[in-house]
Amino acid sequence: MASDDRNEVVQAFDEVLSRSGVHGALEFLNARIPHRFTGVYRHDPPRMRNIHLFDRENPRLEVGGDVPMRESYCSIVVGRDRPFRTGNAREDEELRDHPSRESTLSYCGVPLRDPDGRALGTLCHFDLESQEVFEAETGMLEAVMPRLVERLRAEGAL
């Protein structure tokens, strides 16, 4: 993705976030990819706490369930302190022993960071079906992450 395209998406994200809040911003991000879900999870051991969720099949849903860290791909993102993605967990050798391998097949997530760079949680797309995950999408999520964190901190969610 060209930097001009990324800048346009980030600008549009900012506008949607200002106008429609976090849920609208997640819907905007989700509309760009094939995944069913786009969510924000806060690192709160021993769980990843869902604080915002967009579900393409249930757009009114704004918060999903919390996930035990050992069952969450988000814990990989936070533990490694870098993005993680898989298009088909069943075929990903790295996930051969992961408890969610058979249920959540596709994932793309980046760390949410405070101004000091500490990982607070994740911004992610995921699906119960296998979906192609493009490397450029992790870059896009990283590009919008600071604006999202600023909003979440202002709301007291992080």
Residue 1 pLDDT:
52
| One-character DSSP codes across 109-153 | EEEEE-TT--EEEEEEEEESS-----HHHHHHHHHHHHHHHHHHH
Please state, in angstroms and as integers, the Cα–Cα distance from residue 58 to each residue in 13, 69, 74, 110, 115, following that order: 21, 25, 22, 23, 33
CATH code at position 79? 3.30.450.40
Residue 155 pLDDT:
93
Contact between residue 139 and residue 82 where contact means Cβ atoms under 8 Å apart: no
What is the CB-side half-sphere exposure of residue 83 using CA atoms within 13 A?
21
Residue 13 pLDDT:
97
Tens of pLDDT along the chain (158 residues) come to 555 688 999 999 999 999 999 999 999 999 999 999 999 999 999 999 999 999 999 999 899 999 999 999 999 999 999 999 999 999 999 999 999 999 999 999 999 998 888 889 999 999 999 999 888 999 999 999 999 999 999 999 98
Tell me the one-letter amino acid at 82. Answer: R
Q: How many domains does the chain have?
A: 1
Q: Residue 12: give the domain boundaries.
A: 3-155
List all residues 6 or more positions away from 20 whose beta carbon is below 8 Å from its beta carbon: 27, 28
Residue 115 pLDDT:
86
Q: How many CB atoms lie within 10 A of CB 75?
A: 22
How far is residue 55's CA from residue 112's CA, in Å, rounded to a whole number?
A: 20
Residue 3 pLDDT:
57
Name the CA dihedral angle for 13, 26, 141, 7, rounded to a multiple of 10 degrees.
-10
